[in-house]
Structure 1
Amino acid sequence: MAFKSIFTVVTDEALAKSTLDHAATVAAGCDAHLDAVCFGVDRTQTGYYYAGANAMVLQETLTRANNDASSLAAAARAQLGNSECRWAVEDGVAQLADIGRHVAARARFADLVVLPKPYGTNRGAELEPVLEGALFEGQVPVLVVPDDVDPPEHPKRIVIGWNESAEALRAVRAAMPFLVGAEAVHVVVIDPPQHGPNRSDPGGLLSQYLSRHGVKAEIDVLSKTLPRVADVMHRHVRDVDADMVVMGAYGHSRFREAILGGATRNMLEHVEVTTFMAH
């Protein structure tokens, strides 16, 4: 299936230009339509702050969020007016605790969501629920693009993080339009189980599946020589000079990843190339 409907979310003026540039580049490369939603985020916490707030305070927070949304939407329309893709922009207001639901309601009718890196310095708290809303409730793959990286219209070298999970397989299937057009695809298996059903040929069935789609895939079996799986992945991405990573997202619960860490969060905290994720 081709990507014909691309979706992105803008909540931060500092990230607006790069986010829209990246989404427009992907949309133009796929000959797709880009839908952008600009949210003014009400960052107050209803359960704690509103209990003693008066009407003037409540109205002030909503007015500020509405002004932010209008300003972001005006800037987005001006920027996308010079792009090469078909596009539409709308704006709205969402509370921080509820923004994921609003994102999911729109993302579920897209083929792909393009978002900025959610973690790092000067990142708003809303970026994580925006990503999770698209992945979980929206059930749509997400392309995470670092601010200083230009997403490739047609990736040439792709690394697949493969652990035989349902999330990883769904990511591979969803990324097939990119995989088919790539010059080389590296299926990375890190410390495969010694007693699993595929112990003698880790990644073999996936390689066969990909080859029948015309994907030029090779298997890279790696040892976990660094403290985290994400560290091994990042090093291998640099070694093969990949311009995209394809991986499953949140094989563990979001709560466990938030508290204890996990491959998804670790990858996103230090992402260096465009990363395609699905849950």
Structure 2
Amino acid sequence: MGYKTILTVISTEGQQGQLDAAIDMARREDAHLDVFCLGIDHSQTGYYYAGASAYVFQDSIDKAMAAAETLEAAARARLEREDIRWSVESAVAQIGGLTTLIGMRARFSDLVVLSRPYGDDAPPDGEAVTEAALFEGRAPVLISPNRGLPADFGGKVMIAWNQTEEAMTAVRRAMPLLAAAESVEITVVDPSPHGPERSDPGGALCQMLTRHGVNASIAVLARTMPTISEILSHRATEIGADLIVMGAYSHSRFREAILGGTTRSMLGKTGLPILMAR
């Protein structure tokens, strides 16, 4: 079963690479592409002097509506040149209402294509959009580099395997891509001898994938760098991977925001496409 409904969420004019990636995936999977254009109101009611809130709120809503209409017009102009099935919808929301709005659309999508939510070039609301798709929509999210997907996307895939429920969910959601890949490496970093797979980390997963016709192998790596994300990024470059599959937020989002974590590091620094789920 492939990805037949693909969603992408656009909130700024600088997300052209993300839209290109979504178009490429829709064509590759013979899927329908839903483009959701967002105008976001960032005003905080109650933070202004008495009587001003209503005026500020209306002005912010007007600007958000204009932004959404501009994004929708640009998306339609771009998609009219493509040979895929598509639809475009726009909406306006306050920042606090993004979770429900995006979660509902992601819930009925097979795949959500977004750009990197962290880093200097990330869209202002990228983190909120990504987390809404993952947590509320429970959808797999393909994070695309700003330049779009590489020409050989999906040929060599690396699975970041840490034996967690989130990692297993990501593998299952990535199965259409894994089955089409030329080779897949299950990368395990410093596995615990007391973990659920004990002396055979990645073995059961490799067997499962092989039975699906996936050309899978296992690489067990020692922890030779300060962080897991550095080891994974180095390994992906070393083997020439063009896609990383990994679980998202094995730790809480609050913990990762304060202390950092593999998810945030990979999304903020890695230049490769990442498919994640939880």
Normalising by structure 1, we get a TM-score of 0.96
> Residue 192 in 1 paired to residue 194 in 2?
no
Please provide the CA RMSD for this pair: 1.5
> Residue 3 in 1 paired to residue 3 in 2?
yes
Alignment partner of 2:47: what SS?
helix
Provide the rounded CA distance (Å) in 2 between the counterparts of 1:51 and 1:108. 40
Q: Which residue of 1 aligns with 2:37?
A: 38
Q: Which residue of 2 aligns with 1:67?
A: 66
Residue type of the partner of 1:10? I
The 5 A counterparts of 1:1-279 are 1-15=1-15, 17-46=16-45, 48-49=47-48, 53-151=52-150, 155-279=154-278
Alignment partner of 1:46: what SS?
coil
Q: Percent identity?
A: 49
Q: CA deviation at 1:198?
A: 2.3
CA contact (8 A) 1:154 1:181 kept: no
CA contact (8 A) 1:189 1:221 kept: yes
Alignment partner of 1:277: what SS?
strand
Provide the rounded CA distance (Å) in 2 between the counterparts of 1:248 and 1:46. 36
Residue type of the partner of 1:14? G
Structure 2 stretches of 5 or more lacking a match? none
Q: CA deviation at 1:132?
A: 0.4
Structure 1 stretches of 5 or more lacking a match? none
CA contact (8 A) 2:7 2:111 kept: yes
Alignment partner of 1:93: what SS?
strand
Q: CA deviation at 1:53?
A: 2.5
Residue type of the partner of 1:111? D
CA contact (8 A) 1:20 1:80 kept: no
Alignment partner of 1:25: what SS?
helix
1:187/1:49 Cα in 2 relative to 1: closer, same or farther (>3 Å)? farther
1:155/1:93 Cα in 2 relative to 1: closer, same or farther (>3 Å)? same
Q: Deviations over 1:139-193 (max 9, x none)?
A: 1000000102425576110000001100000000110000011111000000010
Residue type of the partner of 1:180? A
Q: CA deviation at 1:201?
A: 1.2
CA contact (8 A) 1:113 1:140 kept: yes
How many aligned residue pairs are there?
278
